[in-house]
Chain A
Amino acid sequence: EAGVAQSPRYKIIEKRQSVAFWCNPISGHATLYWYQQILGQGPKLLIQFQNNGVVDDSQLPKDRFSAERLKGVDSTLKIQPAKLEDSAVYLCASSFSQGENGYTFGSGTRLTVV
């Protein structure tokens, strides 16, 4: 079974620039999550999709962050404009149902904003 694919692995941008991350979940997994992990902290949920609908985006900073999951498969997370405090690892995860058996995470995209 192929894992959760994320790209790019690393990205360095200047503040106020925009950036996009891509995620391809495990085939058949209906639920997709984007988490932000700041160095030394646990993952924090940004947004959760069920198929192509948003289940929870209450912690997504909507003035600068956006995400979509067209056709209920791949997903893109965008930041525009980026701030220094957005420097973090952005993790994508997927699960078969509501995640009661756990999530499968990708390797993440490490973003550095300078």
Chain B
Amino acid sequence: QKEVEQDPGPLSVPEGAIVSLNCTYSNSAFQYFMWYRQYSRKGPELLMYTYSSGNKEDGRFTAQVDKSSKYISLFIRDSQPSDSATYLCATGGGSARQLTFGSGTQLTVLP
């Protein structure tokens, strides 16, 4: 079992749709949770991070963590074509000395 599992996609939605991206993780000791966005031929860029269960909102983006079920979500409201990218979840902490990444979900927002 991989430490972090992510819905592979690809996902294609119309502009303005609400997008839901999801990951599960296996290590209950993980303490911090992140979402990265990766445009084609670019390195990943940090989008959001959180240390605890609950929701964190930043503009059109909401990150949600449920540590009891080891489930991580990213919601994008009013999606835009510029949101088209690969989204990577990542988690770490506890005895892990570095982040472990999911495999990424490729999102396309159609104008």
Interface residues, chain A, CB within 8 Å of chain B?
4, 33, 35, 40-45, 48, 55-56, 91, 93, 98-108, 110
Q: Are A56 and B44 touching (Cβ within 8 A)?
A: no
Q: Which residue of the partner chain B has the closest CB to A4? A: B43
Known: A33-B98, A42-B6, A105-B44. 15 other contacts (CB 8 A): A35-B101, A41-B103, A42-B4, A42-B102, A42-B104, A43-B44, A43-B88, A55-B97, A93-B43, A98-B97, A100-B51, A103-B46, A105-B36, A105-B43, A106-B43
Q: Which residue of the partner chain B has the closest CB to A108? A: B43
Chain B interface, number of residues (Cβ within 8 angstroms): 25
Instruction: Out of B43, B51, B93, B101, name the residue touching A42 (CB < 8 Å).
Output: B101
Q: Which residue of the partner chain B has the closest CB to A6? A: B43
Q: Are B46 and A107 touching (Cβ within 8 A)?
A: no
Q: Are A99 and B88 touching (Cβ within 8 A)?
A: no
Q: Which residue of the partner chain B has the closest CB to A33? A: B98
Q: Are A99 and B98 touching (Cβ within 8 A)?
A: yes
* Interface: B99 (CB within 8 A): yes
Q: A33-B98, A105-B43 are in contact. Are A100 and B104 (CB under 8 A)?
A: no
Q: Are A40 and B103 touching (Cβ within 8 A)?
A: yes
Shortest beta-carbon distance, A95 to chain B, in Å? 9
Q: Are B98 and A100 touching (Cβ within 8 A)?
A: no
Q: Which residue of the partner chain B has the closest CB to A44? A: B101
How distant is the Cα of A56 from the Cα of B96 in the complex, in angstroms? 10
Shortest beta-carbon distance, A33 to chain B, in Å? 6
How distant is the Cα of A65 from the Cα of B88 in the complex, in angstroms? 26
Q: Are A102 and B97 touching (Cβ within 8 A)?
A: no
Q: Are B102 and A99 touching (Cβ within 8 A)?
A: no
Q: A42-B103, A48-B98, A55-B97 are in contact. Are A107 and B92 (CB under 8 A)?
A: no
